[in-house]
Amino acid sequence: MTSIASNLQAVIARIAAAAQACGRRPDDIRLLAVSKTWPAECVAEAADAGQRAFGENYVPEGADKAEALLGRGLEWHFIGPLQSNKTRLVANAFDWVHSIDRLKIAERLSAQRDPARPPLNVCLQVNVSGEASKSGVAPDAVPALAEAVAGLPGLRLRGLMAIPEPTDDAALLRRRFAGLREQRDALNAAGLALDTLSMGMSHDLEAAIAEGATIVRVGTAIFGARH
């Protein structure tokens, strides 16, 4: 077994243990393997070990890998900040976009998605910690943006994504994740049908799962430290 395959199995075991610890079903949490900066060969190793969903932060790199591994039945998620001049490539090279934080980007993705393809699954990135340096829509602006994005053709609004500030304060981290879940629940109560909370990474996936994560984004624990 390759190191990527063994690392993958260890992460899957962590997810299962975290789910069981809080009374959830492991099958309700999807693992997104974050393959940014790693070559297509490493993605292929993970795919050979059973992984199907991969996350990329950089548009040309991710699109090239998706093209190189076409036909393998993989699912590609764009999880990085997205500029207007890159939306056309993302709209058709990826299956999911987790990082929508303004209506202009969503409108461009909607207009540029090939109508012959299924709707592009999208999440709103929420700046749960209020960091000026971090992408994401402010929590109080989420309802209006969600309503607008949900009405766009070619897109399917699935849920919310967040990257809390780095912290060793476990209670603070849980509050950040809980806040995102509460916001998703409020949107559903207002009439939306959101099923996704994209939150939790290699170092904090247990806390995210305890607060309701449905997708955890794990790179380092699978592929190793980034180049």
pLDDT tens, 127-170?
998 877 788 999 999 999 999 999 999 999 999 999 999 899 99
How far apart (Å, rounded) are the C-alpha atoms in residues 217 and 201?
5
Instruction: Report the percentage of the chain scoring pLDDT > 90.
Output: 93
| Partners of residue 101 on adjacent β-strands | none
What mean pLDDT is predicted for residues 5-11?
97
Cα distances (angstroms) measured from residue 51 to each of 33, 94, 204: 8, 16, 20
How far apart (Å, rounded) are the C-alpha atoms in residues 116 and 154?
10
152, 163, 139: which is closest to 104 by C-alpha? Answer: 152
Q: Is the pLDDT of residue 77 over 70?
A: yes
Greater model confidence, 58 or 130: 58
CB 207 within 8 A of CB 200: yes
Q: Domain tally for the chain?
A: 1
CATH number at residue 188: 3.20.20.10
How far apart (Å, rounded) are the C-alpha atoms in residues 134 and 81?
9
Q: Is the pLDDT of residue 227 over 70?
A: no
- 191: left (phi > 0), else alpha (psi -120 to 50), else beta? left
- pLDDT band at residue 1 under the 50/70/90 scheme: low
149, 147, 181: which is closest to 162 by C-alpha? Answer: 181
Q: SS3 string of the chain?
A: CCHHHHHHHHHHHHHHHHHHHCCCCHHHCEEEEECCCCCHHHHHHHHHCCCCEEEECCHHHHHHHHHHCCCCCCEEEECCCCCHHHHHHHHHHCCEEEEECCHHHHHHHHHHCCCCCCCEEEEEEECCCCCCCCCCECHHHHHHHHHHHHCCCCEEEEEEECCCCCCCCHHHHHHHHHHHHHHHHHHHHCCCCCCEEECCCCCCHHHHHHCCCCEEEECHHHHCCCC
Range of the domain at 13: 3-223
pTM of the entire predicted model: 0.96
